[in-house]
Amino acid sequence: MHDVKAIRQDPEFFVKGLARKGATGVEEILDLDAKRREILAEVESLRARRNAASAEIARMKRVGEDAEQAVAEMRGVGERIKELEDYLEGVEPQMTALVAQLPNIPDPSVPDGGEEANKEIKRVGRPRDFAFEPKPHWEVGTALGIIDFERAGKVAGPRFAFLRGDGARLERALIAFMLDLHTRQHGYEELIPPYLVNRQSAFGTGNLPKFEEDMFQTTDGYFLIPTAEVPVTNFHRDEILPLGELPRKYCAYTACFRSEAGAAGKDTRGLIRNHQFDKVELVKITRPDTSYDELEKLTRDAEEVLEALEIPYRRQLLSTGEMTFASAKTYDLEAYFPGTGTYREISSCTNFEAFQARRAGIRFRDADGKVRFAHTLNGSGLAVGRTWACVVENYQEKDGTITVPEVLRRYLSDMPRIGAGPGAVL
């Protein structure tokens, strides 16, 4: 969310910055703001006039002068003040709603354009040379009996899955491995957050009001979280943090729930785009002057998961047309899926600058004692379901089994392969 005062002081900056995301609205906000300030000035003038008149009326009454005309005049002033105050009471939420619809402004380093403008920063690892035609994860998993889409469709509907036996254990191993890496080596504090949040929390991260249709809502007003970013970022909502405690670094495993309202017909097979999926999330709250350094570190933390799993990937800097509503700068990590011969997003790592912090009231006290808005960052470390699919595709063997990556074996009772011998679910 943007500061109306900042928009007023440099409207050209906001017009140009928002245009990079195809957004407008500055002129409407400035017009409403000018009207609001004009009325505020009139209210203050009328109040001062009423205060002065009240003293004069009191004096007139003390000396026996006729104050009826002055009293009648002040009655009209009071009615005008009430009329203007009622107008202002309606303008404030209108102003907030207009500003809340404005997306964040992209960092100057972000390329303009759509998908074609995404910039590849680096590519790590070479795709495996298979001696056979690799299959997509839904075929491998179904053949081994470790994933069941048909029964999930019966129980819930499309875009759901059952993981079974060693498939479920593989998911649990990935979660434990990611959490251990981030907490023991990368210095994040683990949280187990609520899976339901209130409207204020969803507003704080920028999910509301613009993307309400993408969230599942309960009948009593709660929202199922689309990612742990929402509850974890709001952990410090309406707080002032000491400078010496920044950056705050949190990680959390949660299930995530998305309606995928705008994804009709996309990725209908497998685990790429489901209504429910698992994710390990990384969240940072930082000082403004260090937030871009922290973005690089957070992205490296996510990359190290892929490197430990020995999965080929590339880092992409997203363009203005591909980044999210709240993002100032985003890196996508795309892992290689041999079953389809494509790189697919497996993590997005984003700096929101003060956009979320202003909406959520997350502040810190600087070295001079001034209270300022913090910067917030988050990234997937990683999306567990997509990582499961990627491991299955990259580690499949000709006989239909799956070799377990070395770093996961201690979480799977040192089992070297899935689908070979005891532990297989066929």
pLDDT above 80: residue 263: no
Q: CB of 194 within 8 A of CB of 224?
A: no
Q: What does the mean pLDDT of the chain come to?
A: 92
DSSP 352: -
Degrees to nearest 5, angle at CA 384 with 383 and 389 = 105
Q: Indicate if the pLDDT at residue 423 is higher than 50.
A: no
Q: What pLDDT, on a 0 to 100 scale, did the predictor assign at position 91?
A: 86
Express as a percent the part of the chain with pLDDT over 90: 78
| pLDDT for the residue numbered 179 | 98
pTM of the model: 0.89
Task: Render pLDDT for 33-49 as a digit per residue (tens, 0 to 9).
Answer: 999 888 888 888 888 87
Task: Report whether pLDDT(113) > 50.
Answer: yes
Q: Is pLDDT of 77 > 90? A: no
Dig out the tokens for 407 from the structure.
């770093």
Please say if the pLDDT value at position 424 is more than 60.
Answer: no
Q: How much is the pLDDT for 265? A: 58
Q: Which residue segments constitute the domains of the chain, with CATH numbers given? A: 4-100 (1.10.287.40), 115-418 (3.30.930.10)
The catalytic residues are 258, 273, 345, 348, 386
pLDDT score at 426: 37
Q: Could you tell me where the DSSP H helices lie in 63-136?
A: 68-100
β-pair partners for 371? 365
Question: How does DSSP assign 151-220, residue by residue?
Answer: HHHHHT-SS--EE-THHHHHHHHHHHHHHHIIIIIS-PEEE---SEE-HHHHHHTT-TTTTGGGS-B-TT
